[in-house]
Amino acid sequence: MENNGYRIVFLGPPGAGKGTQASLLSEKYGIKKISTGDILREAVRKGTELGKKAKKYMDAGELVPDDIIIGLIEEQIQGVDSFILDGFPRTMKQAEALDRLLSERGKPLSHVIFVNVPDEEIVKRLTARRVCPNCGAVYNMIYNPPKRDEICDVCGTPLVQRSDDREDVIRNRLKVYRESTAPLIDYYREKGIFYEVNGVGKVEEVLRRIEGVLRG
Ligand code: ADP
Ligand code: AMP
């Protein structure tokens, strides 16, 4: 699989495994991964202006305003030919802005991959998610636990739970997903670049399904 010209969006509910799959593909094929959630969390950690603006929305499981996010993506994709977007776009306004940005350069999206996982499974996955605050590695205490109890395999740092991975916030994130993000499914389906992948199964199995789509 050549990485040239892959401009991929990962769409799907929170906890579908978008970040996990985007990281694997990014490493395997050398395609830049752009995760708006990761960028925002780092900004919150560093206490930057962006972080200060975003924090209250993230803690409540609400979306950060479109103008902030669109500005962020504009910066990130500058001069980048191939990329994987994880967690963006999440609203119709973001999707339209992305289309405009890419069509100005004559380099439209190549694939929108919808990773589908049922709600019950999502709550189970997200309450068991642990992340490394140092290197960003993502684990799951049920499905892919670290080798040593709650310690990062990669860098040895104690793992933490994301502050928005609490059941009440997860329920709100699912509601926001249904209202604001799920409509993008039809938007991209009409453009003929939409592919649905079953997100249930082992991480490696889901990866193989996605690679199958990308090979065509
Ligand atoms: P998203 O980026 O879509 O929010 P993540 O990639 O962070 O989702 O995955 C959510 C949680 O589910 C993490 O704890 C991750 O380790 C776990 N996970 C990812 N893919 C799978 C899978 N195929 N089966 C079981 N758990 C998974
Ligand atoms: P994620 O890591 O993708 O689950 O995102 C975590 C949180 O960051 C979301 O619940 C939102 O508050 C915020 N966020 C991430 N990406 C976006 C986006 N594209 N639009 C608006 N808010 C976002």
- pLDDT, tens digit, for every residue of 159-197? 999 999 999 999 999 999 999 999 999 999 999 999 999
Helix (H), strand (E) at residue 178:
none
User: Which position has the higher pLDDT, 182 or 2?
Assistant: 182
Mean pLDDT of the chain: 95
Q: Which atom of ligand 2 is nearest to 86's Cα?
A: 3
Question: How far apart are the C-alpha atoms of 94 and 59, rounded to whole Å?
Answer: 21
For 97-153, what is each residue's pLDDT tens digit?
A: 999 999 998 999 999 999 999 999 999 999 999 999 999 999 999 999 999 999 999
Distance separating alpha carbons of residues 210 and 196, to the nearest angstrom: 9
Ligand number nearest to the C-alpha of 184: 2
Please report the atom of ligand 1 found closest to the CA of residue 126: 11
Residue 3 confidence (pLDDT) above 60? no
Residues noted as catalytic: 18, 90, 129, 162, 173
**Residue position matching structure tokens 């990062």:** 152
In contact, 113 and 10? CB cutoff 8 Å: yes
Q: pLDDT, tens digit, for every residue of 39-68?
A: 999 999 999 999 999 999 999 999 999 999
Q: Cα–Cα–Cα angle for 31, 176, 112, nearest 5°?
A: 30
Write down all domains in the chain, each with its CATH number in brackets. 7-208 (3.40.50.300)
Q: Indicate if the pLDDT at residue 74 is higher than 90.
A: yes
Distance, CA of 110 to CA of 193 (rounded, Å): 6
* pLDDT of amino acid 216: 86
pTM of the model: 0.96
Q: Among 138, 139, 152, 165, say which to mutate for ligand 1: greatest number of ligand atoms within 8 Å of CB.
A: 138
Range 32-61 burial, b when 16+ CB lie within 10 A, else e: ebbbbbbbbbebbeeeeebbeebbebbeeb
Tell me what pLDDT residue 115 has: 98
* Residues 6 or more apart in contact with residue 103 via CB below 8 angstroms: none
Nearest CA to ligand 2 atom 10: 61
